[in-house]
């Protein structure tokens, strides 16, 4: 900045203006916070309804998990429930996966040997179906 534009009085005014704006925003924040306080009391009633809904969901979850032969472990305090899968079910699923043949995918990894072979292949842009229209 030029020394000709350096004005101590201008800097003094800018300092107090900035400080005043910060005070205005602080007062506005306190006002909005005071206006929002009654909402917390209304939330207590909704909390009871949410807890009732959570207990219904947990009961439905437990019956669904036990219906497919898994073991359901209740938890306390709203944490995630734990489900145990018997070893027999895991062994059955693994045996089924092993009995199925591996599927070949058409996905290519850029830079791989197959990708480079296909790139070096017979692709001629002049024979594109788009250009023949």
The answer to whether position 74 is within a domain reads: yes
Q: Looking up tokens 């009995």, which residue turns up?
A: 99
Average pLDDT over residues 23-38: 87
The answer to whether position 75 is within a domain reads: yes
The answer to whether position 8 is within a domain reads: yes
Spell out the residues 6+ positions from residue 121 whose beta carbon is closer than 8 angstroms to its own. none
The answer to whether position 25 is within a domain reads: yes
Q: Does position 133 have pLDDT exceeding 60, yes or no?
A: no
The answer to whether position 128 is within a domain reads: no
The answer to whether position 127 is within a domain reads: no
- Residue 11 phi/psi, 5° resolution? -65, -40
Looking at every residue in the chain, the average pLDDT score rounds to: 81
Please tell me which residue, 128 or 107, carries the higher pLDDT value: 107
The domain in which residue 50 lies consists of: 3-104
Q: How far is CA 74 from the centre of its chain?
A: 26
pLDDT band at 131 (very low <50, low <70, confident <90, very high): low
């Amino acid at each position: 900045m030029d020394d000709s534009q350096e004005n101590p009085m201008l800097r003094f005014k800018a300092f107090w203006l900035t400080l005043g704006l910060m005070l205005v925003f602080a007062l506005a924040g306190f006002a909005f916070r005071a206006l929002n306080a009654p909402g917390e009391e209304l939330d207590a009633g909704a909390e009871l309804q949410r807890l009732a809904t959570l207990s219904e969901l947990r009961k439905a979850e437990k019956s669904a998990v036990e219906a497919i032969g898994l073991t359901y472990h209740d938890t306390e305090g709203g944490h995630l429930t734990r489900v145990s899968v018997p070893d027999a079910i895991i062994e059955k699923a693994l045996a089924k996966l092993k009995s199925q043949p591996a599927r070949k995918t058409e996905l290519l990894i850029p830079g791989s040997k197959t990708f480079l072979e296909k790139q070096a292949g017979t692709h001629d842009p002049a024979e594109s179906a788009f250009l023949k229209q």
